[in-house]
């Protein structure tokens, strides 16, 4: 499956979900098991810049497209990802903007980004970076 088609499919999959508590006290313990969203001290919250895709520095070339740039913004109430993809045939010559958003869950240093009721990405995070795996097994590397 095409990388860009997968991102587009995810973007069209549903409306963004909001974060919020799922039984844990996320405001005081944002890394508690099952925590969704989090308080202002949640370690995942921040602005991230996409640096790599499948261990390739950006722009990362794929068979039918190149991933040019991307951002990931994680707030207490959810996340928003914006990527610029340049298609080899068709599309905008300056690149097409693809966006996804939803809620997030954290357990320890593991993160799940949700879009609606579906998992969009799984991965890990540190205080300065995040590594996410897409449904098509593309690994995205972000830094704060």
Q: Dump pLDDT digits (tens) for 17-58.
A: 333 333 333 433 444 444 445 444 478 999 999 999 999 999
Eight-class DSSP state of 27: T
Work out how many domains the chain is built from and give that number.
1
* Domain range enclosing 27: 3-143
* pTM passes above 0.95: no
Comparison of pLDDT for 9 and 46, the residue scoring more: 46
Closest CA to 3 of 92, 136, 141: 136
Using one digit for the tens of pLDDT, what is the confidence trace for 82-129?
999 999 888 888 899 999 999 999 999 999 999 988 999 999 999 999
**Of the candidate ranges 3-12, 90-99, 126-135, the one whose mean pLDDT is the lowest:** 3-12
């Amino acid at each position: 499956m095409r990388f860009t088609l997968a991102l587009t499919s995810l973007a069209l999959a549903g409306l963004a979900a909001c974060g919020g508590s799922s039984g844990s006290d996320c405001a005081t313990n944002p890394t508690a098991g099952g925590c969704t969203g989090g308080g202002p001290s949640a370690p995942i919250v921040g602005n991230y810049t996409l640096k790599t895709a499948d261990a390739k520095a950006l722009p990362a070339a794929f068979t039918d497209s190149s991933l040019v740039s991307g951002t990931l913004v994680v707030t207490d109430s959810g996340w928003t990802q914006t990527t610029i993809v340049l298609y080899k045939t068709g599309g905008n010559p300056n690149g097409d903007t693809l966006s996804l958003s939803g809620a997030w869950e954290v357990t320890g240093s593991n993160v799940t980004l949700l879009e609606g009721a579906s998992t969009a990405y799984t991965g890990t995070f540190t205080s300065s970076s995040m590594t996410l795996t897409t449904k098509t097994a593309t690994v995205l590397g972000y830094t704060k």
